[in-house]
Structure 1
Amino acid sequence: MATPQRVHVVHTFASDPATVFAKLSEHENLGPVLGAKIRRVRDGDTTRNGAGSTRSVKVGPLPAFHETTTLAEPDSLIEYEITQGSPLKGHWGRQILTPLPGGGTQLDYTIGFDVPVPGAAALVGAVLQKNIAKGIGKLTP
């Protein structure tokens, strides 16, 4: 997953990994986190939110694009990539959930991408970093 621009957010939830996973994997819950309008396009191949599930993401006046879950390991890992309609190239996301010794869950969320316009990747990365860091707290499992 070689991409020049990275966004990295770490957040601690009071809830256990199963509860956090259930919230994060449900596409419709991500609107406030991403500051976007989210619409389910397709259920997963074997489970509603598993691999193959696809969401439409619309941010402000920009055209919508699709993100498809490529890997969903219950209570521990979600990976996805943009599969349609975005100027971002090689976009992928990885959400790793780790149980904490005293209870709760640590989310380690990394996004990688590139933008063909010189200098635009850093700007897009800064906006994503700010929005996700601010919005992730709105996901209250």
Structure 2
Amino acid sequence: MTAPVRVRVVHRFSSDPATVFAALGEHENLGKIFAPFKITRLNDGSTSRNGAGSARTLRLGPVAFVETVTNAVPDELIEYAITSGVTPLRGHWGKQVLAPTSDGGTELIYTIGFNAIAPGLAAAIGVGLSNGIKRGLPKLVP
């Protein structure tokens, strides 16, 4: 198994944390960030539509896996992990921390951690993820 990789992206939105949280939490919106993956909602969370327990499938060709929200604190935090599927990633998790900015916007710190099944693969995927997230976040909300 290769060494763990961490991807960390910091992004500022002009929108408030409630708006950003709502956009990030809505599984179907994540296609804007993770294109060309096709994202499909599997189920709602135990206490809210996009809360803990909600799940989505991400699919690209033969790669298809389920991500499940493990923790959600409205307007502050979303955590998730890959819980099943066919993927070269191992131990994949994501954490999105939102904080209000002094100008009424939001700062997002998005961290993803994972290993991969082959040497060098995790690093390559990490670069692609980082670049894709940086391109996609501005499309989510202003």
- Give TM-score scaled by structure 1 length: 0.94
- Encode CA deviations 1:53-94: one digit per residue, 9 max, x unaligned: 0000113x2421100000000000000000011221100000
Say whether residues 1:79 and 2:79 are aligned partners.
yes
Match of 1:111 in 2: 112
Match of 2:98 in 1: 97
Name whichever of 3-12 and 80-89 sits farther off. 3-12
Unaligned runs of 5+ in 1: none
Instruction: Supply the distance in 2 between the matched residues of 1:58 and 1:140 (Cα, whole angstroms).
Output: 23
Instruction: Supply the distance in 2 between the matched residues of 1:40 and 1:63 (Cα, whole angstroms).
Output: 16
Say whether residues 1:135 and 2:99 are aligned partners.
no
Deviation at 1:110, TM superposition (A): 0.4
Match of 1:55 in 2: 56
Q: Which has the higher strand share?
A: 2
Instruction: Supply the distance in 2 between the matched residues of 1:116 and 1:24 (Cα, whole angstroms).
Output: 28
Match of 1:9 in 2: 9
Instruction: Supply the distance in 2 between the matched residues of 1:63 and 1:112 (Cα, whole angstroms).
Output: 18
Percentage of pairs with the same residue = 57
Structure 1 letter corresponding to 2:70:
T
Map 1:36-51 onto structure 2 (within 5 A): 36-51=37-52
Structure 2 letter corresponding to 1:10:
V
Instruction: Supply the distance in 1 between the matched residues of 2:132 and 2:18 (Cα, whole angstroms).
Output: 24
Structure 2 letter corresponding to 1:119:
G
Match of 1:21 in 2: 21
Instruction: Supply the distance in 1 between the matched residues of 2:124 and 2:45 (Cα, whole angstroms).
Output: 32
Say whether residues 1:67 and 2:42 are aligned partners.
no
C-alpha root-mean-square deviation of aligned residues, in Å? 1.1
Instruction: Supply the distance in 1 between the matched residues of 2:81 and 2:62 (Cα, whole angstroms).
Output: 18
Q: Which runs of 4+ in 1 moved over 6 A?
A: none
Instruction: Supply the distance in 2 between the matched residues of 1:138 and 1:15 (Cα, whole angstroms).
Output: 12
